[in-house]
Amino acid sequence: MIHPVLAWILLMLLLAVEVLAALLHVGWLAWAAAPVMIVVVALMFMHVAQESPLRRIFAITGLVWIAILLSLGSADFAARHNYPAPQQVIGVR
């Protein structure tokens, strides 16, 4: 097991990468760094690798269900075109 200090240093580096990516408009890098950070936290701080299979299944199930929600749920909005109708607009200058 890697010492948590190394994990912390790695996370700080990744955070720097993320911020730089956003400032330099490298969108995909900001996208890519976040999952890596989450994996690092999960492995190093939450000890997912050492957990019993049961608890890993619980965690993975949560992710799978989020995938269902995001994919099936956003498919509608991606595949639909709304024809906006005029209506009263509130509070905009």
Partner 1 sequence: MSRTSTVEDLPPSYLNKENTLFSWLCSTDHKRIALLYFGSITAFFFLGSAGAALMRLNLISPAGALVSHEGYNRLFTLHGVVMVWFFLVPAVPVTLGNFILPLMLGARDLAFPRLNLLSWYLFITGGLITLWALFWGGLNTGWTFYTPLSTNYTNGHVVLAVVGIFISGFSSITTGVNFIVTIHRLRAPGLTWYRLPVFAWSLYATSVIYVLGTPVLAMTLILLAFERIFHVGVFDSRIGGDPLLFQHLFWFYSHPAVYIMILPGFGVVSEVITAFSRKALFGYKFVVWASMSIAVISFLVWGHHMFVAGQSIYSAIVFSLLSYLVAVPSAIKVFNWLGTLHKGHIQFEAPMLYALGFVGLFTIGGLTGLFIAALGTDVHLTQTYFIVAHFHYIMVGGMVSAFFAGLHYWWPKITGRMYSDAWGRVAAAIIFFGFNLTFFPQFVLGYYGMPRRYASYPPEYQVWNVLSSAGAVILAIGYLTPLFYLSYSLLRGTRATENPWEATGLEWKTSSPPQTENFRHIPTVVDGPYNYPPPHSPAAPRHG
Partner 2 sequence: MAEPRGFQYASAAHETDTARAGMWLFLASEMLFFGAIVYVWMVLRITHPQGVVLGTSHTNLILGSINTALLLTSSFTLTLGVMRARAGQGAAAARCCLLTAGLGVGFLALKGLEWGLDLHEGLWPGPGFAPWGDDVGGARLFMCFYWVATALHGLHMVIGVGLLAWAARLAWRGPMAGRHVTAVEVVGLYWSFVDTVWLVMYPLIYLVARP
Partner 3 sequence: MIQDLLTNAISAITGLHLRPASSSARETDALLFALIGGTILVLGLVFGLMLYYVVRYRHGTKASRDGSDAKSWRFEISWTVATLVVFFGLFVWGADLYVRLFQPPANAIRIAVTGKQWMWKAEHPGGQSEINALHVPINQPIELLMTSEDVIHDFSIPAFRIKHDVLPGRYTSLWFTAVEPGTYNLFCTQFCGTDHSQMGGKVVVMEAPAFQNWLETSRTSVGLVAEGQVLFTRYGCSGCHAAGQPGMAAARGSLSSVRAPPLDGVYGHPVPLNDGTVVIADDQYIRDSILMPARQIVAGYANQMPPFAGVVSEGDLVRLLAYIKSLGANR
Scanning residues 48 to 87, which ones bind partner 2 (CB under 8 A)?
Answer: 51-52, 54-55, 58-59, 61-63, 65-66, 69-70, 73-74, 77-78, 82
Beta carbons within 10 angstroms of residue 71's beta carbon? 10
Please work out, in degrees rounded to the nearest 5, the angle formed at the alpha carbon of residue 43 by the alpha carbons of 8 and 60: 140
Report d(CA 2, CA 51) in Å as an integer.
16
* Residue among 3 and 81 whose Cβ is closer to partner 3: 81
From partner 1, partner 3, partner 2, none, interface partner of 21 (C-beta below 5 to 8 A by class): partner 2
User: What is the secondary structure of 20-61 as a DSSP string?
Assistant: HHHHTT-HHHHHHHHHHHHHHIIIIIS-GGGS-HHHHHHHHH
Q: Which residues bind partner 2 (CB under 8 A)?
A: 4-5, 7-8, 11-12, 15, 18-19, 21-23, 25, 27, 30-31, 33-34, 37-38, 41-42, 44-46, 51-52, 54-55, 58-59, 61-63, 65-66, 69-70, 73-74, 77-78, 82, 89-93
